[in-house]
Chain A
Amino acid sequence: MSRYLLRRLIATVPVLIAVSMIVFVIMRVAPGDVAQMLLSGESGSVASAQEVRQLRQQLGLDRPYHVQYLTFLAGVARLDPGTSLWTNEPVMVELGRRIPVTLELAVLAVVISWTIALPTGVLSAVFQDTWIDYVFRVFSVAGLALPAFWTGTLLVLLLAQQFHWMPPLGYVSPTDNPRLNLQQFIWPALIIGYATAAILSRITRSSVLEVLREDYVRTAHAKGLHGAMVVGRHVLKNALAPVLTLSAVQMGNLLGGAVISETIFTLPGVGRFLVDAILHRDYPVVQTIVILFAVVVIALNLITDLLYAWFDPRTRYA
């Protein structure tokens, strides 16, 4: 077990290096740079080419690419990826403020998506091709088909227009005021959760369908066990493995989804920070966040594989 874990952990190193290289290259290919952005604005004046050059130098952007890359990599290894070029604050400090926001959003969304997906998926499978199945499937696929930014905007519109109510502006941490915090987080979490539930529900359905056809389930039925008991005891446990896998993959994509909902609901999370950083060409921030996301995705995959093995002994440490 620990050898397996060690092997997996070592295997992540080249992946992370590949990720860091991909993002490094993408960001340098992107035209424009932070120096120009810092010196320009909407009000009209423009910095001279010489000033831009000087600021680039000051920010260390004139160093050769490999030096910039290796410096960054060394920084990441020491858990100090440098300072933001845009705000001049340490990236870790900036991130420390924002991670709890996105984390809370992600956890809430996952809880909501499971709450929706499991019952609808299982019922859809058990009552396959009946009206119950159709209703739940339409409901879940609708979640997939409605773009999150669209439902988000409509929701904000509805709340403000019909109820003259808006989630309170600013950000309240859950430890300060859980009630206000929940008012801010519940709407974006619902939207992401619903969208995520769509795929999850489908996988639950097909996974349960598959297990239902397995011999041991038929045997259980034959033994005269009650339907609900069979589903509860045998089917669910075995059907959960693929659902878990998918859920982990989705957690990763959820970070991407946070980019949009954090903008609509003005939550100061990592997603919005990333979009701003990409637009500002704030290289260290973009690189750090992408690597952070990658670490999260990889860790989730690892956890899923371990859980998978626990659920289904056949695949143990393969």
Chain B
Amino acid sequence: MMDAVRRKPMGAVGAVLVCSLVVMAIFADQIARHNPDRVRAVQRFQPPGRVFWFGTDDFGRDVFSRVVHGARISLQIGIAAVLLGTSVGALSGLISGYVGGRTDLTIQRVMDALMAFPTLVLALAVVAALGASLFNVIVAVALTLIPAANRVVRSVALSVRETAYVMAARGLGGSEPRVVFVHVLPYCFAPYVVIATANLGTAILAEAALGFLGLGVPPPTPAWGSMLSGAAQGYLFRAPWMAIYPGVAISLAVFGFNMFGDALRDVLDPKLKGH
């Protein structure tokens, strides 16, 4: 354990950040000191202090409690979007790479089309069309994650398909789905985990960007992105803490996921193993 920390100090920092995020999300109700949605007009714009650690916002709500509960929302969006996006991407990549031929061609053209959209533009258009809600934000973010996962898993599947090992399995009369799931899938697992971890950060950032453009999770849900855009921008001068703390939370979370993801890749990527 200590050895791992010594060899991958950045990864360790990332792991600590990710763990605290998860703890915050799970025990939000215990950690938060106040009800995050409770409006108290008389306590508006309290600067950070002993009662309100991170101050209060334009409705007199406790910013600390909202940041803590925001961890839950951010993680929820991140995990759901990544699971949805990378799973669809990975599955289609697996099929694409393993089956090949016409199927591969069709799937790849669709991926090309999705990739041809700049990330934010696709998410923006989807939220505009479906309306802003927690679920639609997840779908929009997930969509942007599909092509990358597809490409990575496809290339792994392609290379695995040609290995003597899989050919042998096929030669022995293994059914196609069985070969895919038992022999090819495990090889795709490592790159999948690496991509998924790194994408968690991306997903959290995407939610923030949508929030800035006014297409994020609707209030009063304490989503970090919506917290630091919207009202916080309007009160940037008067109550900078309203925007600073959720901003710091986003940065730390993204930072943590990236560092953790890097370390994970170093460990899981067979090519780099043993160095």
Q: Which residues of A contact B (CB under 8 A)?
A: 11, 14-16, 18-19, 22-23, 26-27, 29-31, 129, 134, 137-138, 141-142, 144-150, 153, 157, 202, 209-210, 213, 249, 252-257, 259-260, 263, 274-275, 278-279, 286, 290, 293-294, 297-298
A253: contacting residue among B120, B243, B253, B254, CB under 8 A: B120
B134 close to chain A: CB less than 8 A? no
Chain A contact residues: helix, strand, loop or mixed: helix
Q: Is B121 a contact of A274 with CB atoms below 8 Å?
A: yes
Q: How far is the CA of A129 from the CA of B4 in the complex (A)?
A: 13
Contacts A134-B9, A145-B250, A150-B228 given; indicate if A30 touches B116 (C-beta within 8 A): no
A15 partner residues in chain B, CB cutoff 8 A: 109, 112-113, 116
Q: Is A256 a contact of B120 with CB atoms below 8 Å?
A: yes
Q: Is A149 a contact of B212 with CB atoms below 8 Å?
A: yes
Query: Which of A137, A144, A147 has the most chain B CB atoms closer than 10 A to its own CB?
Result: A147
Given contacts A18-B110, A202-B262, 12 further A-B contacts (CB under 8 A): A15-B109, A18-B113, A30-B129, A137-B259, A142-B255, A145-B255, A150-B243, A153-B233, A260-B213, A286-B125, A293-B117, A297-B118
Q: Is B10 a contact of A147 with CB atoms below 8 Å?
A: no
Interface positions, chain B 255-275, Cβ under 8 Å from A, are: 255, 258-259, 262, 271-272, 275
A141 partner residues in chain B, CB cutoff 8 A: 255, 258-259
Q: How far is the CA of A236 from the CA of B252 in the complex (A)?
A: 32
Which of B39-47, B68-76, B177-185, B201-209 is found at the contact surface with chain A? B201-209
A286 nearest in chain B by CB position: B125
A298 partner residues in chain B, CB cutoff 8 A: 112, 116
A263 partner residues in chain B, CB cutoff 8 A: 213
Q: Is A293 a contact of B254 with CB atoms below 8 Å?
A: no
Q: Is B212 a contact of A260 with CB atoms below 8 Å?
A: yes
Q: Is A147 a contact of B209 with CB atoms below 8 Å?
A: yes
B115 nearest in chain A by CB position: A297
Q: How far is the CA of A149 from the CA of B126 in the complex (A)?
A: 20
Q: Is B212 a contact of A19 with CB atoms below 8 Å?
A: no
Query: Which of A19, A26, A150, A279 has the most chain B CB atoms closer than 10 A to its own CB?
Result: A150
A209 partner residues in chain B, CB cutoff 8 A: 272
Q: Which residues of B contact A (CB under 8 A)?
A: 7, 9-10, 109-110, 112-121, 124-126, 128-131, 201, 205, 208-209, 212-213, 225, 228-229, 233, 236, 243, 247, 250-255, 258-259, 262, 271-272, 275
A290: contacting residue among B117, B126, B271, CB under 8 A: B117
Contacts A15-B116, A30-B129 given; indicate if A275 touches B213 (C-beta within 8 A): yes
Give, as a whole number of angstroms, the nearest-CB distance from A311 to chain B. Answer: 18
A253 partner residues in chain B, CB cutoff 8 A: 118-120
A150 partner residues in chain B, CB cutoff 8 A: 208, 228, 243, 247, 250
B110 partner residues in chain A, CB cutoff 8 A: 18
Q: Is A23 a contact of B115 with CB atoms below 8 Å?
A: no
Give, as a whole number of angstroms, the nearest-CB distance from A50 to chain B. Answer: 27
Q: Is A290 a contact of B121 with CB atoms below 8 Å?
A: yes
Q: How far is the CA of A182 from the CA of B208 in the complex (A)?
A: 29
Q: Is B121 a contact of A147 with CB atoms below 8 Å?
A: no
B201: contacting residue among A144, A148, A294, CB under 8 A: A144
B212 nearest in chain A by CB position: A149
Q: Is A26 a contact of B113 with CB atoms below 8 Å?
A: no
Contacts A137-B10, A145-B251, A150-B228 given; indicate if A293 touches B116 (C-beta within 8 A): yes
Q: Is B271 a contact of A260 with CB atoms below 8 Å?
A: no
A27 partner residues in chain B, CB cutoff 8 A: 125, 129
Q: How far is the CA of A147 from the CA of B124 in the complex (A)?
A: 16
Contacts A157-B236, A297-B115 given; indicate if A23 touches B125 (C-beta within 8 A): yes
Q: How far is the CA of A56 from the CA of B271 in the complex (A)?
A: 60
